[in-house]
Amino acid sequence: MTEYLQSLPDGWTIYVWLVAAAMILIVAGYFMWWAAKNEQFDEDIKYVIFDEKDKQKMSPEEFAKSQEVMKHQMQRREENLAKKDK
């Protein structure tokens, strides 16, 4: 194998790097697509950790938002579980 690599002309390693970079970009693009499709970029996810005990620590608007987000998350959970059971 060493003899074969030494017999190659100068500059062949750039093509290896180009192929590796292209593969990395393709894989990164696929995972970005997967994450977007599976709701991984949800900015409201931070509200899921709050519950009724946190009401006094939050403004009324934030608490209402957290309750709305939690309700939506529970609906999505039920939908996903129903899909899984089918």
* Low pLDDT (below 70) residues in the chain: none
- The per-residue pLDDT for 21 is 98
Residue with tokens 């060493």: 2
Extract the tokens encoding 82: 């129903």
Tell me the whole-structure pTM to 2 decimals. Answer: 0.60
Task: Indicate the domain borders of the chain.
Answer: 15-85
pLDDT tens for 59-78 read 889 889 988 988 988 998 89
| CA-to-CA dists, residue 10 to 5, 34, 45, 59, 81, angstroms | 10, 39, 52, 66, 57
Q: Could you give the dihedral angle defined by the CA atoms of residues 24, 25, 31 and 32, in that order, rounded to the nearest 10 degrees?
A: 150
